[in-house]
Amino acid sequence: MIDEDLTALTLTLQLAITTTLILLMIGLPVAWKLSRYHGRLKPVYEAIIALPLVLPPTVLGFYLLMAFAPDTFFGQLWVGLTGQQLAFSFSGILLGSLIYSLPFVVQPLYSGFCQVGQQYDQVAASLGISRVRRLIKITLPLMKPAILSAVTLGFAHTLGEFGLILMIGGNIPGETQVVSIALYNHVEAIDYQHAHRLAAVLLTISFISLVLLYKFNRRALTGMTTTVAADPTPNKIKARGTHV
C-alpha cells in the first residue's frame, strides 16, 4: 500500500471516529428529548433529523460549498472565529459528515429510548435515586444495544462517505483526501491494482463492523426504521413505557 493510501485510511478512520463521538454526544440528548416530546411539531423535528438519510450527498455538498464560500455570512463568521477557511479543511468535511451521518446515529438512539421507556426511571426516582445515578445505572445500560447500533452505523456510514467530500474536499492528502476519494482517483488514473487494495480494505472494515453489530445487537438495523420493536431480545424485560 502506498503512503498516500495509508494517509487516506488514517484520515478516514479519524474522520469516522470523531464524527461518531460528536454525534453520540449530540444524539443522546436530542434523541432523549424527542422520545419524551409529543407536541404538534414532532413530525417536523423527525423529518429534519431524517432528512440527510434521503438527501443525495451531492445536494448537501453543493449547499455546503455555497455556504462555505468566504464571501458568505457563514464563511466569514468561520474565518473570523478560526482564521481558517472551511472548504478544503478537515473541519469542513467533519461538519459535512456530522450532518450527513446524523440520522444514522440519532434514529437508533431514538428507538432505543422509546423501547426503554420511562417506567424504570420513574420507579428509581420514587426510591430517591438521583438523576445522574439513574442515568448511569439504569437508562444507559438499558440503552447499550441502541448505542452500539448508533456507533456502528454512524462509523460505517461516515467511512464510506463520497459525494459530499468530493464536492467540498478538494482532495488534499492528510487533510481531506479520504479513502473513497483516493479509490476513485486510482480508478480515474486506471491504476486498478491500488484501487483493488483500497476497495478490499474498505469492504473488510465495513463487513467486520456489521458482523460486530449483529453479534451484539440482533435487531440492529430493524431498530433504525421501526420506532417500537415488536420483538425485544429474550433477556430484556419488555418495555411498555412510551408508545408513539
Partner 1 sequence: MVLVNKAPSLFIYVFLLLTLVTTVLKPVHAVAPIHVAVASNFLVPARHLVNQFKLETGYDVVLISGASGNLYTQMIKGAPIDVFLSADSKLPQQLVKDDMALPESLYTYAEGQLVLWSGNSALQLNQHTVATWPHRLAIANPRFAPYGAAALEYLSAHDVLDSYQHRLIKANNVNQAFQFIDSGNVQLGMIPLSLLKVAYQKSKAQKYLHYYPLPNKPKIIQQMVILSRAQNKLMAWKWLNFVTSEKAQQYLASVGYIAQTSQQIAQQRVHNMQLKQ
What's the min distance (Å) between Cβ of 124 and partner 1? 52
What's the min distance (Å) between Cβ of 159 and partner 1? 20
127 versus 190: smaller Cβ distance to partner 1: 190
Q: Is 59 in the site for partner 1 (CB under 8 A)?
A: no
Q: Is 188 in the site for partner 1 (CB under 8 A)?
A: yes
Largest CA distance in the chain: 67
Q: Is 199 in the site for partner 1 (CB under 8 A)?
A: no
- Residues numbered 66 to 85 that lie near partner 1 (CB under 8 A) are 66, 68-71, 85
Name the nearest CA neighbour of 74 among 58, 89, 90, 63.
63
Q: Is 242 in the site for partner 1 (CB under 8 A)?
A: no
Name which position in 21, 166, 199, 201 contacts partner 1 (CB under 8 A). 166
123 versus 191: smaller Cβ distance to partner 1: 191
Name which position in 7, 91, 118, 185 contacts partner 1 (CB under 8 A). 185
* Cα separation values, 234 from 90, 218, 231, Å: 43, 11, 8
Residue 239 contacts residue 232 (beta carbons within 8 Å): yes
Using CB under 8 A, list all residues that contact partner 1.
Answer: 65-66, 68-71, 85, 87-88, 166, 170-172, 184-185, 187-190
